[in-house]
């Protein structure tokens, strides 16, 4: 299927998803639709074990929403609600994708770009990256999940500092806040994300899937319910061939060969 702004290549079981909407990879309904389509297409692929998302060009991962579309949405509550829900559904599908998704933040990640990065499992930022949610400067707030995911990732105080202040943060500031997991030299975010993805690909794929589910589902539950959910997911894994292979490989002092069964 031909897409205009979002495409991917598969390298050694890693899908590199590139958002290419010059000049700064801004978010609009077309980009959201294509990004959703890409993840639907990737989900059943047996030759894909991890995903890296990045921005085309050297300037931006994604520099927020295309503000030009806002003019036509002022005063149209039902329409903006529909647009916002479309963005949320797209980013939630990325958050719940059954393989690891890594954001390679290669420049500006503002507004929707920051929200997209936060929907990923792990964030690798180039040292020239600038991250923020400046929507309050336009009189609005993040709508693609930012108010919810940032609060869960950073805690309420830091999320409020970002969202209510609307400031921009350097890659090092973001690292200190826990907003990104690693900072690398400019131009190296994608390579570092690929290297990290290769590490994940050497692990049990069903364990990766259930680990994601335990964290994502459990953090939206009470601790008591989250612990029960964790126990259920561990028990499920002990019914698989992969766990037998992992244990056998350990005692036989060899690398396991997982088959996702």
Instruction: Find, among 112, 146, 106, the residue nearest to 130 by Cα.
Output: 106
**What is the C-alpha end-to-end distance of the chain, expressed in Å?**
30
115 is catalytic: yes
DSSP label of 57: T
The CA distance from 124 to 129, in Å, is 10
- What token pair was written down for 167? 């400031």
- What token pair was written down for 70? 């806002």
163, 147 contact by CB (below 8 A): yes
78 is catalytic: no
Half-sphere exposure of 31 (CA within 13 A, CB side): 25
The pair phi, psi for residue 69, each rounded to 5°, is -75, -15
Q: Please tell me which residue in 11, 41, 135, 245 is annotated as part of the active site.
A: 135
**Angle ∠(19,20,22) on CA atoms, nearest 5:** 135
Instruction: Find, among 63, 79, 168, 164, the residue nearest to 116 by Cα.
Output: 63
203, 196 contact by CB (below 8 A): no
- Alpha carbon 61 to its chain centroid, in Å, reads 12
Instruction: Find, among 88, 211, 93, 104, the residue nearest to 148 by Cα.
Output: 88
Q: 51 in helix, strand or coil? A: strand
Q: Please tell me which residue in 43, 78, 82, 115 is annotated as part of the active site.
A: 115
For the annotated catalytic residues, the residue numbers are 115, 135
């Amino acid at each position: 299927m031909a897409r205009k702004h979002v495409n991917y290549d598969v390298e050694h079981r890693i899908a590199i998803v590139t958002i290419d909407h010059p000049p700064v990879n801004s978010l609009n309904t077309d980009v959201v639709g294509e990004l959703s389509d890409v993840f639907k297409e990737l989900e059943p692929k047996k030759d894909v074990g991890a995903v890296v998302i990045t921005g085309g060009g050297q300037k931006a991962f994604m520099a927020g929403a295309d503000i030009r579309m806002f003019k036509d949405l002022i005063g149209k509550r039902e329409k903006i609600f529909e647009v916002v829900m479309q963005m949320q559904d797209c980013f939630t599908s990325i958050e719940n994708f059954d393989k690891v998704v890594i954001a390679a933040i290669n420049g500006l990640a503002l507004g929707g770009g920051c929200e997209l990065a936060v929907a990923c499992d792990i964030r690798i930022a180039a040292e020239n990256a600038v991250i923020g949610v400046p929507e309050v400067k336009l009189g609005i707030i993040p709508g693609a999940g930012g108010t919810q995911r940032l609060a869960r990732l950073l805690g309420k105080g830091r999320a409020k500092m970002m969202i209510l202040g609307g400031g921009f943060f350097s890659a090092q500031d973001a690292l200190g806040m826990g907003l990104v997991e690693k900072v690398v030299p400019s131009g190296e975010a994608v390579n570092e994300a690929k290297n990290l993805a290769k590490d994940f690909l050497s692990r049990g794929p069903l364990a990766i899937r259930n680990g994601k589910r335990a964290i994502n589902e459990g953090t939206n539950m009470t601790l008591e319910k989250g612990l029960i959910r964790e126990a259920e997911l561990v028990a499920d894994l002990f019914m698989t061939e992969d766990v037998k292979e992992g244990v056998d490989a350990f005692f036989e002092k060899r690398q396991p060969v997982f088959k996702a069964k």
